[in-house]
Amino acid sequence: MDKILFNKMEFWGYHGAFKEENTLGQRFYVDLEIYFDLSKAGHSDNLKDTVNYADIYKTTQQVVENEKYELVEAIAERLAAKILDSYLLIDEILVRVTKPDPPIPGHYQSVAVEIKRSRERANG
């Protein structure tokens, strides 16, 4: 299946299980793979036959920067559901949310959650 990729979008959010994370905030990276048939847009060269990249970015930004969750898993689920609900052309979406430098013991470059949801699963 065809896909559109959004790579390493960077946002500042106030998510986490610790009070400091909710107060100070931190960076989050989001990657999206959006699956649907791109042939109509490829032939027509018309924006109405695809999804608007700027709109997808704004939707992602709104969730990460304006909502609060304790878990990265919850951010990913919210993004998947909101994008699938908003863009009927999309059949399936993969969402990866990365939290760089998490406040956990040991040395970690990052932790990430990756989920894949389809229109059937999102609505059923």
> Which residues, at least 6 apart from 87, have a Cβ–Cβ distance to it below 8 Å?
34, 51, 56
| Active-site option among 40, 68, 99, 116 | 99
Q: What pLDDT does 121 receive?
A: 53
pLDDT digits (tens, 9 = 90+) for 66-83: 999 999 999 999 999 999
Tokens of 77: 């689920």
Q: Is 116 a catalytic residue?
A: no
Burial of 105 (0-12, 13-18, 19+ CB in 10 A): exposed
pTM over 0.95: no
pLDDT of residue 105 exceeding 90: no
Kindly indicate the confidence band of residue 85, based on its pLDDT and cuts at 50, 70 and 90. Answer: very high
Going from the N-terminus, what domains does the chain have, and what CATH number goes with each?
A: 3-123 (3.30.1130.10)
pLDDT tens digits for 32-67?
A: 999 999 999 999 999 999 999 999 999 999 999 999
- Closest Cα partner for 58 from 30, 39, 33? 30
